[in-house]
Amino acid sequence: MSAAVIKIENLVKRYHELVALDHFNLEIKEGEIFGLLGPNGSGKTTTINCILALLSFDKGNVEVFGEEMAPNKYHLKQDIGIVFQNVAVFNELTVYENIEYFCGLYIKNKQTRKQYVEEAMEFVGLNDFKSFYPKKLSGGLLRRLNIACGIAHKPKLIIMDEPTVAVDPQSRNKILEGIVELNKKGATIIYTSHYMEEVEQICTRIAIMDKGKNLAIGTKEELKMMIKTGETINMEVLEIEDKNLEEIKKLPHVYQVEYKENKLHIKCSKGKHNLIRVLDYMQTNQIAFGRVYAELPTLNDVFLEITGKELRD
Amino acid sequence: MFVRLFQYKVKRLFRTKDELFWCLVFPLILGTFFYMSFGGFQDKQETFQAINIGYITTETGKDEDFDQVLMLLSKDGKDQIVRIKTTKEEEAKKLLLDKKIAGIIYNTLEVTLTVNGEGINESILNSFLNQYIQKRETFTKIAQISPDKLNEVLELEFKDSSYLQEIRFTNASIDPMTSYYYALIAMTCLYGCFAGLSSAIDIKANMSTLASRRLVAPTNKMKIILGDFFGAVFVQFICTLITVCYIIFVLKVDMGQKINYLMLTAFVGSLIGVTTGLFIGSIGRQSENVKSAIVLAGTMVECFLSGLMVGNMKDIVERHAPIINRINPATLIVDSLYSLDIYDTYDRYMRNMISMLILATILCIGSFLAIRRERYASI
Ligand SMILES: Nc1ncnc2c1ncn2[C@@H]1O[C@H](COP(=O)(O)OP(=O)(O)OP(=O)(O)O)[C@@H](O)[C@H]1O
Ligand SMILES: [Mg+2]
C-alpha cells in the first residue's frame, strides 16, 4: 500500500462561533487524484489552509508526507504546489515574470528554473501571452497563469482549489488532461471543484464534505453504490393522470415518480429490467410518450442524497 | 534569493502607477509649482532681509570701534545687514521674547550677544560677533608687536571682504523660500510609506492571497520581507534623488555644497518613510484602503507641521510643542537639510540623523514583531 501524503485527524477549526471544520478526517495516498467536493462554505478552503499551516486550528493533527506540518517545515513546503481559489499573481509583473518569481521561491538553479518556467507556460498554453500583464488577460487566461505559478516547480503534491472557475470548456479540458499527465508523472493531486463532471472525469477518489464534516469517501463507483438510486428513467409525456402516476410508483424498484413540464422522471433503486417494466405499463395503459432515456446516477445524485442539496446553487 | 526578491520588488514598484505618481510626479509638480509662485532665486542677495536687533550701549566703557562697525552695517540701503530696532534694554528684552528681534548686542564693558533661538539670523549675529572679537584681538596684538605693519594689514582686510561674506558659515542660501523645498524633499521621502505599506500587505496572509501564496513557499518569511523592504527603500531613495536633482539643477535652487550629506539625508529619510508604511501595514486588520488613507493623511500632517504649506510652521511648533519637532520625521528631515546648509559643524545634523535612525529602528522592530506571527486565526 502506498504511503499517506496527507493525513488529517480530527481537525477542528472555529471562526468565533462558526465551526468551519468539525472533527474532519482525511487520508490521501500517494498517486491519487483526490477530489474534495462540497457546497459553498463547506470548509474546503479552510481545510487547505490548515494543511498548508497558514491557519491555526483548535484541535487535531495535520501530517504531510508523514510529518507534522508547520510553517517552518521548508523541506515539506518545497514539494507542495498550490493553486489558490483566488488568483494570486503580481499585477506589475508579466506572465513570464510571475511564473519565474514563484518558481524562484522553490528552485534556486537559474538554468533549471528557466526550463521549468517555459514548461509551465507551455503546459497552460500561455506561450503567446508571455509578456502580457495580468490585467490584460481574460478571466480564463488569468486562471491558467494562476495554475502555472502553482505548479512550475514540479511539486510532488499539488493542491488546487477550484482552479478552473471561469475557464472555457476547451481550455478546461486541456487543463484536466494536464492534471492527469502531472499525476502520471508522479504527482499526488488534491482537487476541489464545483464541477461534478470534472471530478468524475479525473478523480480517482472523492470525498464529499458539508458543514465541515467528511460525509462520504470513496471512488466514484463506490459513492454511487452508497445511494439508493440505481437508475433514473426520463420520458416525455404530454398528459398523464394522477391515478397512473400512483400505479407507476407501485412498480417494483420504483421509489419516486415526478411529473413536471411534460416530463416524467422515474427513479428506481438498483435492479434489472426497470425500463422494460415502465414501457410495458405505458403501452398497456395507452399513454402516449415521446423520447425516452435512462440515466445512471451522477455524482450530483450522490451529493443530493447525502447532503440534501444541490452542489451548485 | 534576497537579491532576486529585491530586484523583483524594485521592478514592481517602478511599474506601479500610483507609486510613481506620488513619489515622483507629484513632488516634481509641486516643486515646479513652488518655483512658479516664488519666482527665481537669482536675486537672493538683494532679497536678504536686514536682521533686527536691539543694541544696548553705555557711554563709558564701550568699544568705540565696534560702535562704528555696527553703525556702518546698519546704514540704510542695499547692503544693510542689521537694523537696530531699539536701544532701550527693557524694550529690547520684550522684543526678544516675542521674537521680533533676533538678538540683543550689548556694548558695555564687553561686547556680548543674547539670542533667543537657533535660527539663521541668530547664527549670523553670533558669528559676526565672534569674528569681530577675534579680529580685534589680532589687530591689538599686531599693534603691540609691530605697529608699522598695522596699516598694511588693515588695508588688506578691507579690500577682500565684506562682512556679509565673512559671517556666512557656508555658502548658504538664506532665502526663506528654501524651506519649502526642504519640506518638499521630506514629503518625497515620506511617500515611501506606500511602498512600505504594500510590502507589509504582501506578506500578511490575512490581508492578501498573494501573501498566502508567498508564505507557502519554502522561503523564510524574513527573507521575503527584507527583500521587499530594501527594494522599497531603494526605489524611494531613487525617487527622492530625482526630486533633489530636479530642484537643484532644473529649478536652480541652491542647496549648498554638501551633496554627499544631502544624499545620506535622502536615504535615511526614505528609510523612515518606508518603515512608517511597513509599520502601519503590519499592525491591525483594517483593509488596505483604510491603511492607505491613514498613511497618506499621516504624511500630510507631518509635512504640514514641517512647513510644507506654511513656511514658518516649524518655528510655531517649536514654540508651542517642541516635542513634536523632535519626533516628526518630516521636521527631522527638514531640519537636517537646514542645518547642513547653515552650519559648518555637524552636531545638529547628526542629532537629527540619530533621531531618525532610532525612530526607524523602533518602527522596524514593531513591524517585524507584528508580522512574525506564524499562523493566522482567520484568513
Ligand atoms: N476569515 C473567516 N472568518 C470567519 N468565517 C470564515 C472565514 N473564512 C471562512 N469562514 C467561514 O467558514 C466556512 C468555510 O469556509 P470555506 O472558505 O472553507 O468554504 P469553501 O468550502 O471553500 O467554500 P467555497 O466553495 O465557497 O470556496 C464558511 O461558512 C465561511 O463563512
Ligand atoms: Mg473555497
| Least confident among A106-110, A133-137, B155-159, B365-369 | B155-159
Residue spans in chain A of domains classed CATH 3.30.70.980: 229-296
Highest mean pLDDT among A252-261, B104-113, B256-265, B270-279: B270-279
| Least confident among A268-282, B35-49, B189-203, B339-353 | B35-49
Q: Which residues of A touch B (CB under 8 A)?
A: 15, 49, 52-56, 70-72, 74-75, 77-78, 80, 82, 84, 86-90, 92-93, 97, 101-102, 104-106, 108, 149
ipTM of the complex: 0.85
Half-sphere exposure of B131 (CA within 13 A, CB side): 17
Is A5's pLDDT higher than 90? yes
Neighbour count for residue A218 (Cβ, 10 Å): 15
Q: Is A266 helix (H, G, I), strand (E, B) or coil?
A: strand
Stronger pLDDT, B196 or B341, i.e. the higher one: B196
The beta-carbon contacts of B90-97 under 8 Å, at least 24 apart in sequence, are: B91/B54, B92/B54, B92/B55, B92/B56, B93/B54, B95/B52, B95/B54, B96/B54
A contacts of B1 (beta carbons < 8 Å): 104, 108
Residues B128 and B125: their CA atoms lie apart, in Å, by 5
Angle at the Cα of A148 (from A151 to B223), degrees rounded to 5? 70
Residues B341 and B114: their CA atoms lie apart, in Å, by 23
Q: How many residues are recorded in chain B?
A: 379
* pLDDT confidence of residue B162: 44
Q: How far is the first Cα of chain A from the last one, in angstroms, to the nearest whole number?
A: 38
Structural domains in chain B plus CATH codes: 2-39+179-372 (no CATH), 51-158 (3.40.190)
Cα B356 to chain center, whole Å? 12
- pLDDT, tens digit (0-9, with 9 covering 90-100), for A205-218: 999 998 899 988 99
A contacts of B13 (beta carbons < 8 Å): 92
* Residue A29 DSSP one-character state: E
Cα–Cα distances (Å) from B346 to A248, B114, B332, B351, in that order, read 101, 23, 14, 8
Residues A134 and A143: their CA atoms lie apart, in Å, by 10
Instruction: Report the percentage of chain A scoring pLDDT > 70.
Output: 98
Domain A229-296 has CATH 3.30.70.980: yes
Highest mean pLDDT among A244-258, B168-182, B231-245: B231-245
Residues B360 and B369: their CA atoms lie apart, in Å, by 14
Q: Nearest C-alpha of chain A: how many angstroms from B287?
A: 17
* pLDDT confidence of residue B278: 96
* pLDDT confidence of residue B39: 66
- pLDDT, tens digit (0-9, with 9 covering 90-100), for B215-229: 999 999 999 999 999
| Least confident among A15-24, A260-269, B118-127, B291-300 | B118-127
- pLDDT, tens digit (0-9, with 9 covering 90-100), for A127-179: 999 999 999 998 889 999 999 999 999 999 999 999 888 788 888 888 888 89
Is A25's pLDDT higher than 90? yes
Residue spans in chain A of domains classed CATH 3.40.50.300: 4-224
- pLDDT, tens digit (0-9, with 9 covering 90-100), for A226-281: 877 778 888 998 888 888 889 888 888 888 888 988 899 998 887 778 888 888 89
Cα B29 to chain center, whole Å? 20
- The conformational region for residue B211 under phi > 0 = left, psi -120 to 50 = alpha, else beta, is alpha
- The model's confidence at residue B157, banded by pLDDT at 50, 70 and 90, is low
* pLDDT confidence of residue B44: 45
Q: 0.90 exceeded by the pTM? A: no
Residue of A nearest to B16 (CA): A92
Is B8's pLDDT higher than 90? yes
**Domain A4-224 -> CATH class:** alpha beta
Amino acid at B9: K
